[in-house]
Structure 1
Amino acid sequence: MSEGSQADDLWWRAGTVYQVYPRSFQDTNGDGVGDLAGITARLGYLAWLGVDAVWLSPVFRSPMADYGYDVADYCDIDPLFGTLEDFDRLVAEAHRHRLKVILDFVPNHTSEQHPWFRASRSSREDPKRDWYIWRDPGPDGGPPNNWISNFGGPAWTLDPATGQFYYHAFLREQPDLNWRNPAVRAAMHDVLRFWLDRGVDGFRVDVIWHLIKDETLRDNPPNPDYQPGQADINRLLQQYSADQPEVMEVIAGMRRVLEEYDERVLIGEIYLPLERLVAYYGADLSGAHLPFNFQLISTPWRADAVAALVAGYEGLVPPGGWPNWVLGNHDQPRIAARVGDAQARVAAMLLLTLRGTPTLYYGDEIGLGAVPIPPDRVRDPWEHNEPGRGRDPERTPMQWDAGEHAGFSSVEPWLPLAPEAGRRTVERLRDDPGSILTLYRRLLTLRREHPALSVGSYRAVGTDGDVLTYERIHGTERLRVVLNFGHEACTALVSDEPWRILLSTSGGRAGEAPTEGGFALAGSEALILGP
């Protein structure tokens, strides 16, 4: 694959994105919940780590039925996190640290407490009635169709006062907006401009593939592959409730708003197969700059499976489009919980050496795993609706030091800390040359030092048992990445070229040359090789 046709110096192509879940990053006012002032206080750490942009999960005013993904005012900060002035200080301080700020934009649905929805449900004749999706009951008096909420149960709720149902792809407290209405689009474009004018460098758009629904609201067909025990949403194929062709026009409209400003990025959250995912780059690249690629999260953790995934994705990204990779976020079990502590190091090297923009999730750089959540501490509404689906274990507080509450707060945090919180902290790991935090920092440093890793092309070398090998190339620079997905030691054979180890996930091997045509690999070890 050749390098992309766009300029290599675009920050969102060469850089890395770091996701912060604001409730869990740093509490400064002693209420057990993280806040904007806490994020601002930790920007020096992010600059030290070496990331380029910080993405904030929602901080808009919200009743918190879904912890900020139910927005009651798109143009204000929830008092739990601070004020607009706090936000402005965060942006200014981030830019002083040469960090970009990406805001989570939640356009598919609002809170039921949003003034728009209150007006919409007040009367069938209200001017904002058509800002949401209202329908008469079905012939049996029940919901208008068979659509299921992504959080389980029906996706329709009856409003007795007006005798119609409203649609909600998630909680009943999150009614879906009608993006077929031009007035909705215009209002939301103004929301984007409000934050862009305050210096925001881009947006991650929540559930972007949901924005347009089938115009006639046809029933979704049964899923022939559904297995008992899967989430309720999997009972049906989401053929008509999401991923409709007209959504591309909506995304292109958002993109045009961002293009009124310099170098702003549009990222779309999209849980779809690769063939559909890449359509969200849009015709002539008029869609999302980065349609989020979550495929590594669900791909079997084997060399051959990952190699096939990368090859397939590289072959589908349109000319001029730029890839991206994600290994963890606020909705998915943490990397260390999925692959174990040893392989979490291999995952770090994979994420930060593939072609494309990587997104890191806070806490993964210190190896946070799944934190047990006692039943009386459960917060996630999905867990209450469908036990076993909860996302609290990957949303627990960041662990900064060995002090009380791991330096996150002066009081008991909103979610429990990991049992080993005092041992797995930034303070303890940052000066340890063998720690996973040091590994992340060295990988991020190498990305800055070597254009081959940040903006170079990708060339597959192949797989040999548990070992995956590929190269990154930029101009005359060529680097090789060797990843052992297995737990047994082996040898990675190389050609007679003068390779040397630039970095090992095990540490301590920099400058080492091959012996007898190969490099010894410990179990769960990965290498970056240079000339």
Structure 2
Amino acid sequence: MSEWWKKSVVYQVYPLSFNDSNNDGVGDLKGIEEKLPYLSKLGIDVVWLNPIFESPLVDNGYDISDYEKILPKYGTMDDFLSLLKEAHKLNIKIILDLVVNHTSNEHRWFKESCKGKENPYSDYYIWKDPREDGSEPNNWGSTFGGSAWEYVPSRGQYYLHCFAKEQPDLNWDNPKVRQSIYKMMTKWFELGIDGFRMDVISLISKNPEYPNAPKEVPYTKSYYVGASNGPKVHEYLHEMNEKVLSEYDVMTVGETPNTTSKQALLYTNPNRKELDMVFHFDHMHLDYGKYGKFSDIKFKMSDLRNVLSKWQKDLAEGWNALYWSNHDQPRAVTRFGNDEKYRDKSAKMLATLLHFMKGTPYIYEGEEIGMKNVPFDSLNDYRDIETKYFIEDLRNNSEPEEYIRKCVYLKSRDNARTPMPWNGNEKEGYGFSNGKPWIKYSPDNKNINVEDALKNPNSIFYYYQKLIKLRKSMAIITEGDFKLLNKDDSDVFSYVREMEEKKLVVICSFASKKVNFELPKELVKHISNSRLIISNYDDSNLELPQKLPLCLRPFESLAYYIEE
């Protein structure tokens, strides 16, 4: 099979919020199809769609009630096939979200499983007897609050749900479950899709002992002690590859929470025949606080540099999935850059840093126009199940309302889920919909929108477009080795990509002031052979300056190509 995904750039579409074609306030498949020319103009190769399957939408589609039907709000199967056909005409591939750690409690498998212990689906989910006092089988908490176990009187047992109680975990130890999943995957591949992003795939194999979690482990992630990177996860993924994935020229990316870079290599080393790449979370945890994700702590650039360079090194024989944000994370320019005075410059700097690393870059919708976190008027405006739980949890811990508002503003998943602004006209629903949107619009849409970005030749959009073109034209970006530079610099993240006699030097400042940068001595001798291939300042030096140190302006990024 070819490895086309190594040279690809992926664009993530959140269907609920991308484009509404029928003005019911919800994005849909026809709306996505309408915007394919825009995505083609950007230059991306692959579109990843968040779940489009039938679902009660308790967790915005990550609770699937039928894997083979399209959610009516999004359209029909014919609409999907039309989208797939038109995307392929533009040489854009489509990958879907595979959510098979759990289903919805409305799925027919689960409804049957609840009826008793003697039916074909009784063992499709993870059921456990109560302890002697009738309590839960262990002390695991769920991601969205409360126990990870729910009691069902008809069976006299508890079922496991690592997420909401409406999302029961499937029992992957049951071969019938695996075969049902493989059969479903095959049907989608036969329809012509180009791969899957696999939701929390590192959780599918549980420790058969179901051990209690230590008290010091955060309650909402306590199931990690027995659910992440379990004893048979690699056996099951190898089986999936053998029975399904190896039959098609497709890409796979696994979401692997609580997974180290060393463990990730087990998933991604091509000799093992499991997955092509994985999403890690190490850089997403750098600003966690006493309540975990919901904090007002700022990341340290040195920590970010250490994490990203470690993954570059440790997955040299595997493959990295490169991302700043997605549907589960706040906006990148707010989190890692400066979303006020230097929004444009820091958004471009972050793009530069990421797109020149080794791996497949992922762009989350709106990232290419520099969308930032949303200043909702009220905490009641948030729609996300996780956010609602943490608002209540922080209140129960007697935290001040002002602190809660700040934490939620900084970290809520809803920051990434407000509708895509296609223009700056509020009366037109910013080009998203003429109906009432399922979630409020960001007030920043008036100044941050696609229409304005396309009119400005120096916009963040066109900067992304240029980065993508460079990636397609320069083999060193996808094939070169990665080497960290100036690892102790307090403000500048710099690295070099090397291939044969060629070098690509990437210099990115995270400072909001001017700072000096010392070019390593081994590169100084190549100054005369260098040329600037991209910078987020229009007047940057075209060659590495003879006079060193280099003075970097706020959030300045520079990429120099050296051919010895």
Letter in 2 for 1:467: V
Distance in 2 of aligned mates of 1:299 and 1:455: 28
* Contact 2:329–2:412 (Cα < 8 Å) also in 1: no
Distance in 1 of aligned mates of 2:205 and 2:352: 37
Does residue 269 (structure 1) correspond to residue 267 (structure 2)? The answer is no
Distance in 1 of aligned mates of 2:281 and 2:210: 28
Q: Which of 248, 254, 275 is the matching residue for 2:234?
A: 248
Distance in 2 of aligned mates of 1:201 and 1:349: 27
Distance in 2 of aligned mates of 1:183 and 1:267: 24
Q: Which of 338, 344, 348 is the matching residue for 2:347?
A: 344
1:472 to 1:282, Cα distance in 2 relative to 1, 3 A:
closer
1:109 to 1:517, Cα distance in 2 relative to 1, 3 A:
same
* Contact 1:496–1:517 (Cα < 8 Å) also in 2: no
Letter in 2 for 1:30: N
- TM-superposition CA deviations, 1:392-423 (whole Å, max 9, x none): 12211111112321111112211111112121
* Contact 1:302–1:466 (Cα < 8 Å) also in 2: no
What pairs up with 1:343-422 in 2 under 5 angstroms?
343-373=346-376, 374-387=378-391, 388=408, 390-403=412-425, 404-422=428-446
- TM-superposition CA deviations, 1:143-173 (whole Å, max 9, x none): 1111111111101111122211111111111
Does residue 469 (structure 1) correspond to residue 494 (structure 2)? The answer is yes
What pairs up with 1:208-357 in 2 under 5 angstroms?
208-223=201-216, 232-234=219-221, 236=222, 238-272=224-258, 273-281=260-268, 284-299=271-286, 301-317=299-315, 319=317, 321-339=318-336, 340-341=338-339, 342=342, 343-357=346-360
Q: Which of 188, 191, 197 is the matching residue for 1:198?
A: 191
Deviation of 1:501 after TM superposition, in Å, equals: 1.8
Which residue of structure 2 aligns with residue 50 of structure 1?
Answer: 43
1:211 to 1:446, Cα distance in 2 relative to 1, 3 A:
same
Residue identity over aligned pairs, in percent, reads 36
Aligned partner of residue 371 in structure 1, secondary structure: coil
Distance in 1 of aligned mates of 2:313 and 2:546: 35
Distance in 2 of aligned mates of 1:182 and 1:104: 22
Q: Which has the higher helix share?
A: 2
Which residue of structure 1 aligns with residue 507 of structure 2?
Answer: 482
Distance in 2 of aligned mates of 1:66 and 1:194: 25
Deviation of 1:318 after TM superposition, in Å, equals: 5.8
1:289 to 1:131, Cα distance in 2 relative to 1, 3 A:
same
- TM-superposition CA deviations, 1:30-84 (whole Å, max 9, x none): 1101001111111111111111111000000111111111111101111010111
* Contact 2:496–2:503 (Cα < 8 Å) also in 1: yes
Q: TM-score, normalised by structure 1?
A: 0.92
Q: Which of 436, 441, 448 is the matching residue for 2:460?
A: 436
Distance in 2 of aligned mates of 1:352 and 1:508: 22
- TM-superposition CA deviations, 1:319-378 (whole Å, max 9, x none): 3x1222221011111102213233332211111111111111111111111113434433
Distance in 1 of aligned mates of 2:30 and 2:422: 16
Q: TM-score, normalised by structure 2?
A: 0.87
* Contact 2:95–2:197 (Cα < 8 Å) also in 1: yes
Letter in 1 for 2:387: E
Aligned partner of residue 296 in structure 1, secondary structure: helix
Does residue 530 (structure 1) correspond to residue 530 (structure 2)? The answer is no
Cα RMSD after superposing both structures: 2.1
Distance in 2 of aligned mates of 1:503 and 1:140: 66
* Contact 2:330–2:412 (Cα < 8 Å) also in 1: no
1:206 to 1:259, Cα distance in 2 relative to 1, 3 A:
closer
Q: Which runs of 5+ in 2 are unaligned?
A: 288-298, 392-407
* Contact 2:270–2:276 (Cα < 8 Å) also in 1: no
Higher mean C-alpha displacement, 205-214 vs 456-465 = 456-465
Distance in 2 of aligned mates of 1:469 and 1:112: 48
Does residue 12 (structure 1) correspond to residue 5 (structure 2)? The answer is yes
What pairs up with 1:61-210 in 2 under 5 angstroms?
61-210=54-203
* Contact 1:401–1:407 (Cα < 8 Å) also in 2: yes
Q: How many residues align?
A: 516
Distance in 2 of aligned mates of 1:431 and 1:445: 19
Letter in 1 for 2:374: V
Higher mean C-alpha displacement, 23-32 vs 11-20 = 11-20
1:412 to 1:98, Cα distance in 2 relative to 1, 3 A:
same
* Contact 1:323–1:357 (Cα < 8 Å) also in 2: yes
Letter in 1 for 2:228: A
Does residue 492 (structure 1) correspond to residue 517 (structure 2)? The answer is yes
Deviation of 1:512 after TM superposition, in Å, equals: 4.7
* Contact 1:502–1:510 (Cα < 8 Å) also in 2: no
Deviation of 1:258 after TM superposition, in Å, equals: 4.1
* Contact 1:293–1:326 (Cα < 8 Å) also in 2: no
Higher mean C-alpha displacement, 125-134 vs 179-188 = 125-134
Which residue of structure 2 aligns with residue 3 of structure 1?
Answer: none
Distance in 2 of aligned mates of 1:79 and 1:186: 27
Aligned partner of residue 421 in structure 1, secondary structure: helix
Q: Which of 460, 471, 475 is the matching residue for 1:447?
A: 471
Distance in 2 of aligned mates of 1:14 and 1:180: 36
